[in-house]
A and B are shown apart, each in its own frame.
Chain A
């Protein structure tokens, strides 16, 4: 069983993430934007699960209701993170917003600039370690995700060039 209010809270997890993230990104301006987003999402996901379970009352709480809440809240948080990440890192969104703001799209964004921005972000997030002139990966969760994504990309697009 799940209460109507609990389901309402779970379904709207992306919206709660947005509200908390908006407040957090104004308070923690000096922190890396992605770290603030991830922290806000985790707080929202855990809160949504707790609210939905507390609402239920002990007689209805079960492993099934916990797993359902977990899937819905994690899915919602993940969905919001990718929406945020599109605005933060997607080249297509950059092209669209630049054209909308009448900034020449793409001209200032050379491969060198793309690399500089991405390396800067990965070093700030602690994913890469600069050693003298070279960069090395650190054993992080993101590295596992990156390697898994690469493998899945080959599965989905076996003829991709890269």
Chain B
């Protein structure tokens, strides 16, 4: 049996780290945001080990909340097109047609910004006009290719 005493402290410690994350992201321009968010939300949990109330269960709660938010973070960082579509259609009382939605989405940066993100994350390298996968990029691509095959689903994404 494991004691659940002070498990809720994990919610408090995570909330403190989350507030720090919002403050930093609003005040600074963060280039390597994936590394920074791991540092800010996940590894900062170790600071709370100094508090006696930070038990194993509190750490697990902190970790699961941090992992969940990190998984969700690309939706905010990259302005998910589905979210933009939903919010722009909702803002228009009469609804929007495909051409109008396309204008809201913008033509230029839907893919090019994502290529840039991948280069910054060292998952791609750019050589002139050509992109190539780095070793890390290959491993991540293989993971998702294997995962989709495991689910019996066609290649997805996008």
Contacts and interface: CB of A to CB of B under 8 A. Distances in A.
- Whether chain B is bound by chain A comes out as yes
Contact of B133 (A60, A100, A143): A100
B71 interface: yes
A112 B76 CA distance: 22
Contacts of B96: 134-135
A92 B83 contact: no
Interface in B61-109: 61, 64-65, 67-68, 71-72, 74-87, 89-90, 94-98, 101-102, 104-107
A65 B132 CA distance: 49
A68 B117 CA distance: 36
B131 A105 contact: yes
Interface in A119-137: 119, 121-122, 127-128, 131, 133-137
How many A residues are at the interface, by size bracket? 35 or more
B144 interface: yes
A20 to B, nearest CB: 11
Given A22-B151, A88-B157, A93-B144, A72 B61 contact: yes
Given A22-B150, A86-B144, A96-B124, 5 more contacts: A33-B156, A92-B118, A112-B102, A128-B86, A143-B90
Contact of A100 (B75, B94, B142): B142
Contacts of A99: 124, 131-133, 137, 141
B64 A72 contact: yes
Given A90-B158, A94-B157, A158 B68 contact: no
Contact of B68 (A7, A78, A95): A78
B38 interface: no
Contact of B82 (A105, A122, A155): A122
Contacts of B75: 149
27 contacts: A60-B1, A68-B57, A71-B11, A86-B74, A90-B158, A92-B78, A95-B131, A96-B140, A97-B145, A99-B137, A100-B133, A100-B138, A100-B141, A101-B155, A106-B111, A111-B102, A114-B105, A116-B98, A119-B101, A133-B97, A136-B89, A137-B90, A142-B86, A143-B90, A149-B76, A152-B76, A156-B76
